[in-house]
Amino acid sequence: MALCGFDREGGSQACVYFLANCRIQRSRNRPKRRLAYPSGRFSLHSRLYHGEDWRPFVPEDSQVSGEKPSNPYLTSPTLTFSVILIAVYLAIGFLGGDLLNPPVLLALAQCDGPLPIYPWTLVTSIFLHAGIIHIASNVLFLLIFGFILEEQVTKTRWIATFFLTGVAGNLTFVGADLAGFFLTGVPNVNSLSCGVGASGAVYGIMGAATGVRGVILIIFIAGLDLFAGGGFFAHIGGLITGLLLRRFWNSDLRNF
Judgement on whether residues 125 and 221 belong to the same structural domain of the protein: yes
80 vs 13, 50, 73, 85, 121, CA distance in Å? 53, 47, 9, 9, 21
Residue 193 contacts residue 177 (beta carbons within 8 Å) = yes
Judgement on whether residues 110 and 51 belong to the same structural domain of the protein: no
Long-range CB pairs of 183-191 (<8 Å, 24+ gap) are: 187/112, 187/113, 187/114, 188/113, 188/114, 189/113, 190/113, 191/113
How many structural domains are present in the chain?
2
Range of the structural domain that residue 94 is part of: 77-249
CATH code, 156:
1.20.1540.10
pLDDT tens over the chain, length 256 residues: 444 544 444 444 444 444 444 444 444 455 544 444 444 444 444 443 444 444 544 444 444 445 565 677 778 999 999 999 999 999 999 999 999 989 988 899 999 999 999 999 999 999 999 999 889 989 999 999 999 999 999 999 999 999 999 999 999 999 999 999 999 999 998 889 999 999 999 999 999 999 988 888 777 666 665 455 567 888 889 999 999 999 998 875 555 4
d(CA 127, CA 91): 12
Judgement on whether residues 81 and 58 belong to the same structural domain of the protein: no
Judgement on whether residues 131 and 219 belong to the same structural domain of the protein: yes
Judgement on whether residues 136 and 19 belong to the same structural domain of the protein: no
In terms of C-beta density within 10 A (0-12 exposed, 13-18 middle, 19 or more buried), how is residue 230 classed? middle
Judgement on whether residues 88 and 46 belong to the same structural domain of the protein: no
Q: Does residue 256 fall inside a structural domain?
A: no
With 0.75 as the threshold, say if the pTM is over it: no
Among 62, 86, 104, identify where a domain stops: 62
Note the pLDDT of residue 218.
76
